[in-house]
Chains A and B, each alone.
Chain A
Amino acid sequence: MSSSIAVAPPGREGAARPLRRVDPAGLTRYAGLTVTWVLLLALVGINIALQPSILNMTQVGLIVQTALPLVFACVAQSIVLVSGGIDLSIGGTLVLGNVLAATWMNHGVAWHLPLIVLFGAGFGALNGALVVFAKVEPFIATLATWSIYDGIALHLLATDGGSTPQSLTSWITGTSFGIPSSILVLAVVALWWWHFAKTRAGRHLYATGSDPVRAALGGVNVSRTRFQAFVLSGVIATIGGICLALITSTGSPTAGSGYILPSIEGAVIGGVTLTGGQGGAGLAIAGAFILTFITSVSEALNLAPWVATVISAALLLAVVAARTGLQHREA
C-alpha cells in the first residue's frame, strides 16, 4: 500500500482525505457518535447514583468481569462489520472456545491455551474462506458455520460441565498488580485495537469496508483484508469464550446463542454501522457496556426483567434512527 491512497471519511461523500487521518477509535468519524458517549456516561452516572458502593476497584472489576464475554463478542463482530461483512458464527466460535477451555485446559494450560486460540483462528479462517474464496454471502456462510460450530461444541460437551484450571479462574476473578484482572484484560483489548486500527492492516480494514472498489484501486488487497477480518473475529470470539469458561469455571455448549444477536446489538448501539467502514472496536466496547449497564441499572432498581429487554430494544431503535436522521441532515 502506498500513502497516496485516499479514503473519504465515512458519512461524507467526495472529499478524499489521506489515510492517516483515519481516527482509530472512531470518535469523530460521523455525526451522532456523541449519542454513544452521552448514553454511556448517563448510565454510569445512574449506576453510581443508585449504588454509590460500586465506586471501588473490586466492584468495578466485577462489572467489567460480567461484561467481558459480551465485550469480546462485540469487538469480534465490529471488526467484521467494519470490513463490510457480518458474522453470525460468533456464537459458535465463542461457544467452541468456551467448551474447549472447559474440557482441555485442565490437561495443561501452556499447551492448550495457544492451541484453542489457534483453533479460533481456524474457525474464523473457514468463515473467511467461504466468504472470500467461495463467494458465499457473509450472512449465509456464517449462518451455516454457526450451526456447524454449535454442533461440534455439542459433540465435545453434551451438557453444561467440564472445569477450568483453578489458578486461571482465580486469576481472572482476582487481581494482578493490585488491579482487578478483568480490567487488565479489557485494557489489553482496547490497547490492541487502538494500535491495530493505526497499522496498515487496520487502515486497509476501513478502506475495504467503506468502499471496496476504491480500496482495490488504491492497492488494498480487499480479499485478504476481508479474510483477515473473519480470522480476527474468530480469534477474539474464541478468547471471549475462554474468558466465559474461566469466569464461570465451567463450560456450556449452549452459551453461544445468547451472544450472536447481542453482539450485533452492542456494536450498533456503540456506533458501528452495518454498511461497513464506520465505527470500530472502541465503540463496540462502549456498546457492550451500555447493554450491560441497562441490565445492572434495572436490577439495582429491582425492575422486572422485561424492563431491561424493552429498554435495550427501544434504545437500539432510537439510537439508530437518531444517527440516520443526523447523517441525512449532514449529507
Chain B
Amino acid sequence: MMSGSPHAPEGGPAVRRFGSRLRGGVGRAGPTGAAFALAALIFVATALYNPGFAGLRNLQQMSIFATFIGLAAVGETVVILAGGLDLSVPWLMTFGGIELGKLDKVAALPGPAEVLILLAIGVAIGLVNGIGVTKFKVPPIIMTLAVGGLIEGYLLAVGTLQSSSSSVPPIANQVAHGKLGPFPTLLLLWLVAAVVTVVVLRRTALGRHIYAVGSNARAARLSGLRVERVRLVTYAVAGLTSTLAGIVLSGYLGTSYLDMGTPYLFPAIAAVALGGTAIAGGKGSYWGSVAGALILTLLSAALPLLHLGTADLDIVYGVVILLGVGATKGLVGRTGRRHPVTHPSPGADASSAHEPMSGQRERSQL
C-alpha cells in the first residue's frame, strides 16, 4: 500500500521503486518493492544458471513480451483501481490487430491515421463497457464479458466475408520490430505509457478520484465525486491500451487471427494481482503491475531453460500468484494501519473505508 497509495507519505517514487529500503525489510518497501525484488530474484537466479539469459538478445526479446502484458495491464490496473474489472481485454486486442489490417486494406490511409482511428474505436468500445456498468448497472464481469462476445461475433461475421484479412500494415511492423540503439521501440513505448499512467494516477485529480472511487464509492459520492464518470474514464482507458496492445502484438507476430488476444486474459489480470493491487479496488499502483508483467515474462522465459514445459509454467504461475498475493496481504496488513487511506475531501469519513460491510458490498459488485 505504501508505494501503491497515491497518498504515500514521504520519499520520491524512485526511492521506493528501486527498493533501497530493503535494509528495513521487504515490508517497508511495500508490495511493489516486493514484486520488483521477486522479478530481480528470478532474473539473477536464472542468469547464474544460464548466463545466456542475461544476453542482450534475450533481454530485448523478454522486454517485448513483457510489453504486451504491460500495455494490456495499463487498462486493467486503472479499471481495477476504480473498483471494476475488464474481461474484454483479449477481445479488444484481437480486434485491434485484425481491424488494423483490414482498415489498411480498405482505406489505405497513412499509418498513424489508421492507428489513431482504431484507438478511437477502442476508446468507444471501452465507453460501451463503461456505460453498461455505470448507467445500466450491469456488473463489470458480465458487461465486459458480453462486450467481448459481441466483438468476437463481429469479427467472426466479418471474417467470413473477407477471408484474408491477416495482413499487417507497415507501421505496426516497424514499431514492433524497431530499435532505438539497444532498446526495442516497444519497450520505450511501454515506458512512456507507464510513466504517463503513473503520473496521472499519482499527480492528477483524476488519479486521486480513481483511488477514492475504488476504495469507497459511497464515500466518494458523498464527498461530491462523480463516481460514474470516473469509472467511465477507466473503461475508456482500458479500451485504448488494450487496442494498442493488440496493434503492436499483430505487428510483432506479422499476422492477426481470431484467438490472438486470448492468451492475455490471464496475464493481464495476474500482473495486476501480482503487483499488489487489490482486486476490490482503491489500493495499488501501476508500477506494481509493471513488476507483475516482468515476473510473468521472466518465468515463461526461465522455465524452458530448466527443462520445464507449459504444464509446469501453468502451475508455477498459479503458485506465484498465490504467494505474491499472500505476501502482499501480510505486508498491507502490517503497514496498513500506519498509513490509513485518506479521502479527497476532509469531510469524508476515512474510517468507513475499512468498514467490513462496505468492502463486502463493493467486492461482490465484481
Contact = CB atoms under 8 A, between A and B. Distances in A.
Asked if A and B are interacting partners, one says yes
Interface of A: 84, 86, 130, 134-137, 139-141, 143-155, 158, 212-213, 261, 264-265, 268, 274-276, 304-307, 309-310, 312-314, 316-317, 320-321, 324-325, 328
B314 A264 contact: no
Q: Which 4 A-B pairs have the closest CB atoms?
A: A313-B149, A151-B314, A310-B153, A148-B318
Contact of B146 (A148, A304, A314): A314
A305 B314 contact: no
A317 B138 contact: yes
A218 B227 CA distance: 34
B156 A320 contact: no
Main secondary structure of the interface of A (DSSP, over half): helix
Nearest to A309: B153
Nearest to A306: B156
Contacts, number: 153
Nearest to B365: A275
A147 B318 contact: yes
A187 to B, nearest CB: 30
Given A306-B160, A317-B132, A264 B149 contact: no
B356 A320 contact: no
Contact of A309 (B132, B152, B312): B152
A152 B311 contact: yes
B146 A147 contact: no
Interface in B142-180: 142-143, 145-150, 152-157, 160
A151 B312 contact: yes
Contact of B142 (A130, A148, A274, A304): A274
Contacts of B149: 309-310, 312-313, 316
Contact of A144 (B310, B312, B322, B366): B322
Contacts of A306: 152-157, 160
B137 A137 contact: no
Main secondary structure of the interface of B (DSSP, over half): helix
Given A151-B312, A275-B365, A316 B146 contact: yes
A70 B145 CA distance: 17
A135 B280 CA distance: 13
Given A151-B311, A304-B156, A313-B150, 6 more contacts: A151-B310, A306-B153, A306-B156, A309-B149, A310-B149, A313-B153
7 contacts: A84-B364, A134-B322, A147-B317, A147-B318, A151-B316, A304-B160, A313-B147
B356 A136 contact: no
A140 B150 contact: no
A213 B311 contact: no
Contact of B270 (A136, A143, A152, A307): A143
Nearest to B270: A143
A306 B151 CA distance: 10
A322 B334 CA distance: 44
Interface string B252-287: 000000000000001001100100001110000000
A264 B87 CA distance: 12
B150 A310 contact: yes
B139 interface: yes
B279 A147 contact: no
A320 B154 CA distance: 21
Contacts of A325: 136
Contacts of A212: 360
B292 to A, nearest CB: 12
B363 interface: yes
Contacts of B364: 84, 274-276
A129 to B, nearest CB: 11
Nearest to B272: A140
A324 B318 CA distance: 35
Contacts of B315: 147-148, 151-152, 155
Interface in B57-103: 85, 87
Given A310-B157, A317-B132, A147 B326 contact: no
A317 B145 CA distance: 9
B357 interface: yes
A148 B266 CA distance: 12
B319 interface: yes
B2 interface: no
Contacts of B132: 317, 321
Interface in B281-321: 309-319, 321
Contact of B322 (A141, A309, A324): A141
